[in-house]
């Protein structure tokens, strides 16, 4: 044990650190309970084609915490990601999003309303992942092509052969794969060329200063051109202003998402109009 009395003694029990650890542990057990008690909810943020037509929604998880109120993912995803809770949470989100999209499918049979679901690296790598996607589709009755999975570059750090295989199986199911937060992680152009990814999602950080930072403008232009040269569709996230929207339009971006066009909201309060016709679906 430490004799924490001397001048240069090591302090094993930093009170701040102790507090941080106990907060983490509390959050962990609260998350576990939240799953059992069904305290999570999905919000949906619209995605628009360059023509202005709505073609889908990204599902974003929220936590109705019994004491702290509504919490966004930044408050809990990291802790969930550090243990296997993210897998259960992600499977729940996948099931719920497919059920919702299946309702849209039945309500708007002539139109395209996709749902886009975020998949954490740990969930992607879990052994039953492909099966859980197949089951979510089966149980909800959702057509596979109406489901989009948002994967991040960070899941491609290693075991590339296995990743290629898994993505191929997902793409065989008929679902669409999107590469989220593009440009912030570690994917190589080799991956981009090889993997069955249909859509590239430009990270918000490149969109934010689009009208003031010439480097960001060139980066975004390059991502758009690269995507098109590789026959992939490209969507910008975090579009907050008319200026950003117009710059992106001028550079030929295919699709848009952001507060300028629509904020995330619960399923019941969505205004669903100007939906893309099934005959003019992109991808
Ligand atoms: P993401 O997938 O990159 O999602 C986009 C985030 O940007 C969302 O934050 C969204 O609300 C926010 N956003 C959208 N438009 C704008 C805008 O114009 N301006 C700004 N400043 N922000 C905008 P949110 O909902 O807090 O989610 C944060 C992250 O949490 C997501 O980033 C995603 O990585 C993760 N996440 C959310 N739901 C799930 C889930 O069900 N499963 C997993 N594994 N991760 C999730
Ligand atoms: Mg996303
Ligand atoms: Mg994103
Ligand atoms: Mg992002």
CA 167 to each of CA 90, 102, 178, 261: distance values in angstroms, whole numbers, following the listed order: 17, 23, 11, 31
Pocket of ligand 1 contains residue 130 by CB under 6 Å: no
**What does pLDDT average to over the chain?**
92
Band (8; pLDDT cuts 50, 70, 90): low
Pocket of ligand 1 contains residue 102 by CB under 6 Å: no
Minimum-distance ligand 1 atom for the alpha carbon of 73: 30
Percent of the chain with pLDDT over 70: 95
- 80-94: pLDDT as tens digits: 999 889 999 999 999
Average pLDDT, integer, range 210-231 = 96
Please check the confidence at residue 98 and state whether its pLDDT lies above 90: yes
Which range is least confidently modeled, 14-23, 221-230, 249-258? Answer: 14-23
Pocket of ligand 1 contains residue 46 by CB under 6 Å: no
pLDDT (0 to 100) of residue 243: 97
pLDDT (0 to 100) of residue 221: 98
pLDDT (0 to 100) of residue 6: 53
Mutate which of 41, 58, 59, 60 for ligand 1? The one with the most ligand atoms within 8 Å of its CB, which is 60
Q: Do 49 and 276 contact (CB within 8 A), yes or no?
A: yes
Beta bridge partners of 275: 54
Q: Do 97 and 117 contact (CB within 8 A), yes or no?
A: yes
Prediction pTM value:
0.93
Q: Do 252 and 228 contact (CB within 8 A), yes or no?
A: yes
- State in Å: Cα 203 to ligand 2 middle: 9
Cα 3 versus chain centre, distance: 49
| Ion ligand 2: protein residues whose beta carbon lies under 5 Å | 118, 150, 180
**Ligand 1 atom 34: the closest Cα is on which residue?**
118
- State in Å: Cα 180 to ligand 3 middle: 5
**Dihedral sign of CA atoms 114, 69, 152, 138 in order:** negative
Mutate which of 40, 80, 118 for ligand 1? The one with the most ligand atoms within 8 Å of its CB, which is 118
pLDDT (0 to 100) of residue 178: 97
Please check the confidence at residue 2 and state whether its pLDDT lies above 90: no
pLDDT (0 to 100) of residue 33: 96
CA 8 to each of CA 5, 13, 15, 17: distance values in angstroms, whole numbers, following the listed order: 8, 15, 18, 19
Q: Which residues are within 8 A (CB) of 47 and not within 5 positions of it... i.e. 6 or more apart?
A: 54, 55, 56, 57, 58, 114, 116, 235, 255, 256, 257
> What b/e sequence results for 234-268 when a residue is b if at least 16 CB atoms lie within 10 Å of its CB, and e otherwise?
bbbbbbeeeebbebbeebebbbbbbeebbebeebe
pLDDT (0 to 100) of residue 188: 78
pLDDT (0 to 100) of residue 1: 43
Average pLDDT, integer, range 273-277 = 88
- State in Å: Cα 8 to ligand 4 middle: 44
Residue for token pair 């570690």? 186
Band (282; pLDDT cuts 50, 70, 90): low
**Phi, psi torsion values for 208, nearest 5 degrees:** -50, -50
pLDDT (0 to 100) of residue 30: 95
- 127-153: pLDDT as tens digits: 999 999 999 999 999 999 999 999 998
Beta bridge partners of 266: 43
**Ligand 1 atom 21: the closest Cα is on which residue?**
238
pLDDT (0 to 100) of residue 19: 87
Minimum-distance ligand 1 atom for the alpha carbon of 260: 18
pLDDT (0 to 100) of residue 194: 86
- State in Å: Cα 157 to ligand 4 middle: 18
**Ligand 1 atom 27: the closest Cα is on which residue?**
73
- State in Å: Cα 205 to ligand 1 middle: 12
pLDDT (0 to 100) of residue 190: 81
Please check the confidence at residue 3 and state whether its pLDDT lies above 50: no
Minimum-distance ligand 1 atom for the alpha carbon of 90: 42
């Amino acid at each position: 044990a430490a004799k924490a009395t001397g001048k240069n003694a090591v302090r094993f029990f930093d009170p701040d650190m102790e507090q941080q650890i106990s907060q983490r542990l509390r959050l962990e057990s609260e998350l576990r309970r939240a799953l059992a008690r069904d305290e999570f909810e999905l919000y949906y943020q619209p995605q628009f084609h360059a023509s202005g037509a709505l073609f889908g929604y990204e599902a974003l998880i929220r936590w109705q915490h019994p004491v702290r109120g509504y919490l966004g993912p930044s408050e809990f995803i990291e802790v969930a990601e550090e243990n296997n809770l993210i897998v259960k949470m992600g499977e729940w989100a996948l099931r719920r999003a497919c059920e919702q999209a299946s309702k849209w499918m039945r309500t708007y049979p002539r139109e395209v309303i996709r749902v886009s679901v975020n998949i954490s690296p740990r969930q992607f790598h879990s052994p039953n992942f492909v099966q859980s996607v197949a089951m979510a589709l089966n149980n909800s009755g959702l057509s596979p092509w109406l489901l989009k999975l948002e994967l991040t570059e960070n899941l491609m750090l290693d075991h590339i052969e296995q990743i290629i295989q898994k993505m191929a199986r997902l793409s065989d199911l008929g679902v669409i794969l999107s590469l989220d937060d593009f440009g912030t992680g570690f994917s190589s152009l080799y991956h981009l060329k090889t993997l069955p990814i249909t859509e590239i999602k430009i990270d918000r950080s490149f969109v934010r200063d689009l009208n003031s930072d010439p480097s960001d403008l060139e980066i975004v232009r390059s991502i758009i051109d690269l995507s098109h040269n590789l026959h992939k569709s490209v969507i910008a996230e975090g579009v907050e202003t008319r200026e950003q929207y117009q710059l992106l339009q001028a550079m030929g971006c295919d699709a848009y998402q952001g507060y300028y066009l629509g904020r995330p909201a619960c399923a019941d309060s969505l205004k669903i109009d100007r939906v893309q016709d099934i005959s003019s679906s992109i991808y």
